[in-house]
């Protein structure tokens, strides 16, 4: 899924020229109950769209081209000139609301018009943009507007930072591309406010680029973003931070050598006061340091490796802003992240070197919180029917759970077995969604 563009971007900045350059790389997509669009991102016919645009096809009986059985579902993709081709669903992630399709042509050597990918960091508020979509089945409709805001992190559950638009977006625009006036892809339209006019959102292009890299990664696919710091949410806000007018912040208690935060220049003792241009004391969780810490952690984990994260810290009474290139969680760290996300279990880090992982805490409001006192200190020894002998074993099983939950958009009943230090066994079924 290499990035490619077979047509040069126009230099005039004319909307007419930009539409002419990009429209052959846009397809309309329709399923039994959904209208949407997609955009071709390489000459081999790889299409990016929203998960919810093709979700119906994942639940329908799977048939291949010509009605023959197939291992993967297909949808129909229509071009500007009316040509239709089947497109194979290669990968679908409900959590990201993104999907990758591959066009199927009778000519195996056919090459397709593809868009050039822009850069999220160059997008500016007030910048003119246009979207091409399939609103109400009106194929390849162009809508023009501006970028109203960037880094809206409260729209999707996974806190992915979105672009806000004022373009006319309707049912059927989902999955369609957002371009600048040079014809570069800036994002994919993903949502609108049903109760408002002129408020819509798009997944930014750097996140799309990270998604493509993660799916193509032969080493294991999707890894959560990480920067390599620990924050002390229990510590009091230092006086020198308050003196600068900040009412909330998170002291950094550890910076892991060799990880992105250290490479960017963060140090132990720095106090985090702003993330992606948003002051922490302006967030709804500002009065609850533990909740504030969870929000920051969630924001970092939602990013793909390679995306950039701008943060501001107070160091020795002075404000310092750095840009961090987000890294990928190690397999061990990913297992611990998945244990938190899917099971609500925080594992103790000092026990991950050997033997079944031990529960250090149970997150409130999660499936096991009602029996937390019985589980703290116990070891996770079974997931489904597999015995767990290490954190790596746990990570492999939770990766399978993640794949089902995210790609098939359905809940999974998971058997989790625990054992305390006396050897007593505790088995529970938990719903993961």
Give the tokens for residue 323.
């840009």
**Whether residues 92 and 172 fall in one domain:** no
Sign of CA dihedral 385, 388, 391, 392: negative
Q: Which of 198, 216, 234 is the last residue of a domain?
A: 216
What gap in Å lies between CA 368 and CA 90, rounded to an integer? Answer: 35
Burial class (CB in 10 A: 0-12, 13-18, 19+), 275: buried
CA–CA dist 212, 207 (Å, integer): 9
Burial of 419 (0-12, 13-18, 19+ CB in 10 A): middle
Burial of 421 (C-beta count, 10 Å sphere; 0-12/13-18/19+): exposed
Closest by CA position to 378, among listed 346, 424, 325, 420: 420
Domain boundary residue, one of 62, 87, 116: 116
49, 77 Cβ separation under 8 angstroms: no
- Residue tagged active-site, from 24, 42, 93, 97: 97
- Choose among 43, 176, 185: nearest CA to 114: 43
Instruction: Confirm whether 97 is a catalytic residue.
Output: yes
- Are 393 and 403 found together in one domain? yes
Task: Check residue 136 and give its pLDDT.
Answer: 84
Asked if the structure places residue 75 within a domain, the reply is yes
Asked whether residue 4 is domain-assigned, the answer is no
Counted domains in the chain? 4
Reference 21, options 3, 48, 1, 39; nearest CA is 39
Q: Report pLDDT for 146.
A: 94
174 in the same domain as 126: yes
Q: What is the pLDDT of residue 68?
A: 44
Domain boundary, last residue among 216, 237, 253: 216
Q: Where are the alpha helices (DSSP H) in 46-143?
A: 51-59
In this structure, are residues 395 and 332 in contact, taking their beta carbons and an 8 Å threshold? yes
What is the CATH classification number for the domain harbouring 201? 2.40.10.10
* 5 belongs to a structural domain: no
9 part of a folded domain: no
* Owner of token pair 């950094």: 252
Whether residue 62 lies inside any domain: the answer is yes
Same domain assignment for residues 367 and 417: yes
Q: Please say whether the beta carbons of 102 and 87 come within 8 A.
A: yes
Tokens encoding 139 = 């194929």
Q: Which of the 8 DSSP states describes residue 349? A: G
Quick one: 91 and 168 in the same domain? no
Do 231 and 197 sit in the same domain of this protein?
no
Does a structural domain hold residue 1? no
Which residue range is the domain that position 52 belongs to?
15-116
Residues 185 and 130: their CA atoms lie apart, in Å, by: 10
Distances in whole angstroms, Cα of residue 74 to Cα of each of 57, 130, 379: 7, 28, 43
188 and 263 housed in the same domain: no
N-to-C CA span, the chain: 29
Active-site annotation holder among 52, 113, 139, 168: 52
> Which listed residue (174, 182, 299, 312) is catalytic?
174
Q: What is the CATH number of the domain that holds 320?
A: 2.30.42.10
Q: Is residue 3 part of a domain?
A: no
* Domain shared by 366 and 402, yes or no: yes
Q: Is 221 exposed, middle or buried (0-12, 13-18, 19+ CB in 10 A)?
A: middle
The pLDDT, as a whole number, for residue 65 is 38
Q: What is the structure's pLDDT at 74?
A: 81
- The reply to whether 335 and 428 lie within a common domain is yes
Do residue 26 and residue 108 come from a single domain?
yes
pLDDT at 157: 65
**121-160 residue pLDDT tens:** 889 999 999 999 988 888 899 999 999 998 887 777 667 8
CB within 8 Å of 318: residues ≥ 6 apart: none
Nearest to 184 by CA among 135, 134, 123: 123
pLDDT of residue 9: 44
Whether residue 174 lies in the annotated active site = yes
User: Is residue 305 assigned to a domain?
Assistant: yes
Which stretches of the chain drop beneath a pLDDT of 50?
A: 1-12, 61-70, 220, 351-352
């Amino acid at each position: 899924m290499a990035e490619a563009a077979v047509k040069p971007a126009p230099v005039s900045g004319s909307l007419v020229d930009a539409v002419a350059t990009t429209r052959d790389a846009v397809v309309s997509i329709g399923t039994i109950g959904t209208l949407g669009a997609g955009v071709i991102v390489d000459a081999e016919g790889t299409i990016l769209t929203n998960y919810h645009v093709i979700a119906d096809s994942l639940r329908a009986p799977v048939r291949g081209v010509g009605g023959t059985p197939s291992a993967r579902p297909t949808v129909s993709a229509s071009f500007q000139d009316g040509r239709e081709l089947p497109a194979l669903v290669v990968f679908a992630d409900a959590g990201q609301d993104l999907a990758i399709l591959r066009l199927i042509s009778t000519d195996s050597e056919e090459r397709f018009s593809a868009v050039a990918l822009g850069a999220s960091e160059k997008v500016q508020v007030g910048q003119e943009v246009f979207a091409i979509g399939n609103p109400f089945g009106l194929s390849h409709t162009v809508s023009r507007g501006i970028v109203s805001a960037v880094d809206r992190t409260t729209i999707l559950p996974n806190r992915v930072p979105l672009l806000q638009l004022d373009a006319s977006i309707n049912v059927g625009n989902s999955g369609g591309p957002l371009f600048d006036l040079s014809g570069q892809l800036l994002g994919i339209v993903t949502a609108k406010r049903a109760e408002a006019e002129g408020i819509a959102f798009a997944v930014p292009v750097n996140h799309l680029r990270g998604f493509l890299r993660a799916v193509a990664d032969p080493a294991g696919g999707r890894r959560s973003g990480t920067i390599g710091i620990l924050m002390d949410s229990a510590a009091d806000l230092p006086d020198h931070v308050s003196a600068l007018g900040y009412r909330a912040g998170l002291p950094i208690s550890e910076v892991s050598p060799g990880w992105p935060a250290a490479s960017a220049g963060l140090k132990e003792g720095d106090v985090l006061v702003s993330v992606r241009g948003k002051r922490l004391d302006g967030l709804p969780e500002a009065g609850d340091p533990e909740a504030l810490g969870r929000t920051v952690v969630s924001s970092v984990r939602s990013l793909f490796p390679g995306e950039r994260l701008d943060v501001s810290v107070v160091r020795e009474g002075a404000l310092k802003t750095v840009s961090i290139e987000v890294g990928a969680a190690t397999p061990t760290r990913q297992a611990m992240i998945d244990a938190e996300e899917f099971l609500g279990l925080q594992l103790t880090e000092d026990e991950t070197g050997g033997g079944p992982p031990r529960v250090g805490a149970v997150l409130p409001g999660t499936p096991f919180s009602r029996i937390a006192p019985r589980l703290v200190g116990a070891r996770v020894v079974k997931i489904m029917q597999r015995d767990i002998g290490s954190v790596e074993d746990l990570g492999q099983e939770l990766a399978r759970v993640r794949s089902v939950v995210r790609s098939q958009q359905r809940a999974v009943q998971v058997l989790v077995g625990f054992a305390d230090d006396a050897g007593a066994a505790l088995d529970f079924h938990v719903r993961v969604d």
